[in-house]
Chains A and B, each alone.
Chain A
Amino acid sequence: MTEQIQYLTPAWRDEAEKRLKSELSPERMNFITSSMSNIYLDCPDGGTRYLFFRFEKGEFADLLLGEGEPPTAEFKVSGKYDTFAKISRAELGSQRALMTGKLKLKGNMVKALKLASIADRLNKVLSTIPAEY
């Protein structure tokens, strides 16, 4: 049986970084330079966490997990922990979550449209991590 990793822990972050680097080539990432912070509200311990992604010309550059104010990012997506967990378990599409107001995006929507399919690829990789929520 595959070992389960606790979602949004340093171990989960390390596994996410490993998978993103190996599975998302610069070509698959359309050579983008961008950054995004996911803000997880109402985490199981009652706190707030962030997950910060940064890509440089399609190369995976940073994946930071932390508490408090996240680094400045081109896009900020905020929502409840449960919503992100559902997206990571592939039970909810990120676009549906945005369209129903479960997630809130801050950033230039025109640029976000160009990156929507890339965000889907990223979420797909994260959903393959065997995780406990």
Chain B
Amino acid sequence: MTTSNDPYYIDFPARIRNIQARMAQENIDVYLGSRLRTLSWTLDAFCPWRSFVVIPAEGLPTAFTFVIDAARVADDSWLDEDHVLGFVPMGGQDQIELIVDFIKDLLPGGKGRVGIESGMSNYLPEGNLTHYEYERYSEALPGCELVNAHTIVDALATIKDEGTVNRFREASRIVDIGHQAVRDALQNGGWKGMTETEIAGLAAYAMRKAGSEWEWSFTGGNEIASGYRTGLVGGACTPASRRELQAGEPLMIDIHAMFKLGLGDHSHNYLIGPVTDRQWWHANNFVDIVKLTLENYRAGTSPADLAEKMIGFADERGFSDYMVPGFEHGIGMMGDEWRIGLNDGPFPYWTNPEHVYQAGELLICAMQYACPEEDIGFRYENPIVLYEDRCEPLSLFPLSIDEIN
């Protein structure tokens, strides 16, 4: 638990009150949160097991998780042990019966509107209520209407408060330490004989030493790609393999750190010598488009505006064939790693390309360059905070593609 003069302080009771105010507006009596992003955002604890948070119309929320982890969640959370309950396969204690009994106690006559979280996501551990869970809760709460209400949390979580941004800043500082450790290890021939998994591990060790809680990304922790793997078509997901680094190849280092559920995510790229002019041409294209993108990110623009400008630039320079035409993904406290903004776009549960950014939003600037026919590619990722007239990249590792000899 942090205090209000701590740079990482987040006013969780205020978050709950804000949710309750929106619940009142939408005539929702109880909110049953199940998404990982909702759990992190309301509890300030990482919930790796199937978990739920029940938010009443007034008062404190209560979390429910697998009993083997409930005491730890209570210890990490701002809630006390009476508000973090464990479920087990025992009479009256399985997750459905325990939560149903709890909700019934909150509702006079067992009747009311229960907000649930339903939908779909590219992010596997999103945590929407499953079809099975929905059926069981519906059966066990016959006096209740279950309504999809995730927009309440999504809307409130869009603009990041200072404590959240500071947690991301610290996670990014830790990621920079990881990048420095990788660079130090690769230099002066250190790369010879090294594998992608080894690099992932040495970055992880450096970041853990600096206080990272884990390499949080579900895409395999630290993503490392070398040689042809950097240039896989549209390839923006590269869990480290046992591939050994080779001279004359590109190397992509995309590492992740977590600090108090704030997420660091930054990619840096290398060319292992000898480097050809053609490889430098690709590398310079990439660095230039990243620079231009960062210059253009600010409140008032939209993903579609930005993509149009950047693809235009790539076209002029003759490398648009190699750009993956997306420049960002959403980010928030652990578990919030996909859509930007609300579910209001032309394709359900994807980012609305016309979403107009506001000051105070935080996203990952994410760019992928891939030329499979030449076995070369690069990635840029960095959490950025948007202001009226600029963006602030949180990872400060210098933007460049470095030659290693």
Q: Residues of A at under 8 Å CB distance from B?
A: 78-79, 97-106, 108-111, 113
B109 at interface by CB-CB < 8 Å:
no
A105 touches B82 (CB 8 A): no
A105 touches B91 (CB 8 A): yes
A102 in contact with B91 (CB, 8 Å) = yes
- From B74, B85, B91, name the one whose CB has the most chain A CB atoms within 10 angstroms: B91
Whether A106 contacts B101 in the complex (CB less than 8 A), given A98-B90, A98-B91, A113-B67, comes out as yes
Residues of B within 8 A of A100 (CB): 91
B31 contacts the other chain (Cβ, under 8 Å)? no
Which of chain A's residues have a CB closer than 8 A to the CB of B81? 108, 110-111
A103-B91 contact, Cβ under 8 Å, with A110-B74, A111-B81: yes
Interface residues of B in 40-85 (CB under 8 A from A): 67, 70-71, 74, 81-82, 84-85
The residue that B91 contacts in the complex, of A104, A111, A113, with Cβ under 8 A, is A104
A108 to B88 Cα, complex, angstroms: 11
Decide: A109 and B70 in contact? CB cutoff 8 A. yes
**B86 at the A interface (CB under 8 A):** yes
Name, among A103, A105, A106, A110, the residue most crowded by chain B CB atoms within 10 Å (CB to CB): A110
Q: B residues 372-403 with Cβ under 8 Å of A?
A: none
Partner of B90 from the list A78, A99, A108, A111 (CB cut-off 8 Å) is A99
Chain B residues lying within 8 Å of A79, measured Cβ to Cβ, are 91
Inter-chain contact A105/B86, CB cutoff 8 Å: no
Chain B residues within an 8 Å CB radius of A113 = 67, 86
Q: Are B90 and A105 in contact, with the CB atoms below 8 A?
A: yes
Among B67, B85, B86, B90, the one with the most A-chain Cβ atoms within 10 Å of its Cβ is B90
Chain A proximity of B90: nearest CB distance (Å): 4
Shortest beta-carbon distance from B180 to chain A in Å: 42
Q: Judge if B92 is at the interface, Cβ distance under 8 Å.
A: yes
Residues of B close to A109: CB separation below 8 A = 67, 70, 85-88, 90, 93, 98
Q: Does B108 contact A (CB under 8 A)?
A: no
B193 close to chain A: CB less than 8 A: no
Q: Closest CB of chain A to B397's CB: distance in Å?
A: 42
Say whether A110 contacts B91, CB under 8 Å: no
Q: Report yes or no: A99 in contact with B85, Cβ–Cβ below 8 A.
A: no
The reply on B89 being an interface residue by CB < 8 A is: yes
A-B residue pairs in contact (CB < 8 Å), sample of 29: A79-B91, A97-B91, A98-B90, A98-B91, A99-B89, A99-B90, A100-B91, A101-B90, A103-B91, A104-B91, A104-B92, A105-B91, A105-B92, A105-B93, A108-B81, A108-B86, A109-B86, A109-B88, A109-B90, A109-B93, A110-B70, A110-B71, A110-B74, A110-B81, A110-B84, A110-B85, A110-B86, A111-B81, A113-B86
Roughly how many angstroms separate A113 CA and B69 CA in the complex, as a whole number? 12
Question: How far is A101 from B92 in the complex, measured between Cα atoms in Å?
Answer: 8
- Which residues of chain A are near B97, meaning CB under 8 Å? 104
Q: Bound complex: CA of A97 vs CA of B91, how far in Å?
A: 8
A-side contacts of B67, CB under 8 Å: 109-110, 113
The 3 closest A-B pairs by CB, nearest first: A104-B92, A104-B91, A98-B90
Q: What chain A residues lie within 8 Å of B86 (beta carbons)?
A: 108-110, 113
CB distance from B366 to the nearest CB of A (A): 40
A101 contact set on B, CB distance < 8 A: 90-91
CA distance A105 to B101 in the complex (A): 11
CA distance A99 to B255 in the complex (A): 43
Which one of A78, A100, A103, A105 has the greatest number of beta carbons of chain B within 10 Å? A105
B contact residues around A111 at 8 Å (CB): 81
Would you give the 0/1 interface string for B8-20, flagging 1 where the beta carbon is closer than 8 Å to chain A? 0000000000000
- Measured in the bound complex, the distance between the Cα atoms of B90 and A79 in whole Å is 13
Please indicate which of the listed interface residues A102, A104, A108, A111 has the most CB atoms of chain B within 10 Å of its own CB.
A108
Q: CB-nearest residue of chain B relative to A108?
A: B85
Kindly list 18 other residue pairs between chains A and B, CB separation below 8 angstroms, not including A78-B92, A79-B91, A109-B88.
Answer: A97-B91, A98-B91, A99-B90, A101-B90, A101-B91, A103-B91, A104-B97, A105-B90, A105-B92, A105-B93, A106-B92, A108-B81, A108-B82, A108-B86, A109-B86, A110-B71, A110-B85, A110-B86
